[in-house]
Chain A
Amino acid sequence: DIVITQSPDSLAVSLGERATINCKSSQSVLHSSNNKNYLAWYQQKPGQCPKLLIYWASARESGVPDRFSGSGSGTDFTLTISSLQPEDVAVYYCQQYYTTPGGTFGQGTKLEIK
């Protein structure tokens, strides 16, 4: 089974500053058949369902602000929020969907305002 490990577990960033969350997979999630990384990022606010932010490691979901970006390939990935806004306080999860069905999720990273 592919194990997904996020770092850090929690993060405090000042408003307007950059926030970076890392996601490491125990095996590559880059599929050789289509050269796509099977990696997604979600945002979850208290009492709400997760919201898809990024898929295929770097494709931004429609309606997601462009301050959110995803990067990386193979086993190492990053979610970057370029300028933190108050509404970005949430828990962020990455998910590998290379192994089907369902894939596996990271343990989550809690993002707060410093």
Chain B
Amino acid sequence: QVQLVESGGGVVQPGRSLRLSCSASGFTFSSYAMHWVRQAPGRGLEWVTLISFDENNKYYADSVKGRFTISRDNSKNTLYLHMNSLRAEDTAVYYCARDVGDGDYFRYWGQGALVTVSS
């Protein structure tokens, strides 16, 4: 059974940094690309970033490019999102999601981690 569990959310001041983690189980983590998708309070869903199974390819939404970095540790079955220069508009629930392999739709999601950027 695929399980994705995010951690590391919290309240952070504008301009500061935060790192989210996503612990994966129930599948061969090193075989799948992974995504982060976010949802601002009361708003819709926004794809944030993707990392290939081998970490060789990374892609970012324009809204976070240059500020966020996705990474993974396949030996620990863990996905990371390093968020720098945080802004109020980055306030959201951040979900990790597993790639399905044949298209960027999302079958497996974590429960989400809330990041609040506020002074």
Contacts and interface: CB of A to CB of B under 8 A. Distances in A.
Contact of B46 (A50, A52, A105): A105
Contacts, number: 55
Interface residues of A, number: 23
A105 B48 CA distance: 12
Given A49-B112, A93-B44, A93-B45, A102 B104 contact: yes
Contacts of A49: 95, 109-112
B105 A108 contact: no
Contacts of A40: 105-106
A77 interface: no
Nearest to B45: A105
A103 B35 CA distance: 12
A42 B108 CA distance: 12
A114 B103 CA distance: 36
Contact of A95 (B48, B105, B107): B105
A100 interface: yes
Interface residues of B, number: 20
B61 interface: yes
Interface in A57-114: 61, 93, 95, 97, 100-108
B59 interface: yes
Given A38-B103, A50-B45, A107-B44, A101 B50 contact: yes
Contacts of B46: 105
B107 A61 contact: yes
Interface of A: 38, 40, 42, 48-52, 55-56, 61, 93, 95, 97, 100-108
27 contacts: A38-B103, A40-B105, A48-B111, A49-B109, A49-B110, A49-B111, A49-B112, A50-B45, A51-B109, A52-B106, A55-B105, A56-B103, A61-B107, A93-B44, A95-B45, A97-B104, A101-B35, A101-B47, A102-B35, A102-B47, A102-B50, A102-B104, A103-B105, A104-B47, A105-B45, A107-B44, A108-B44
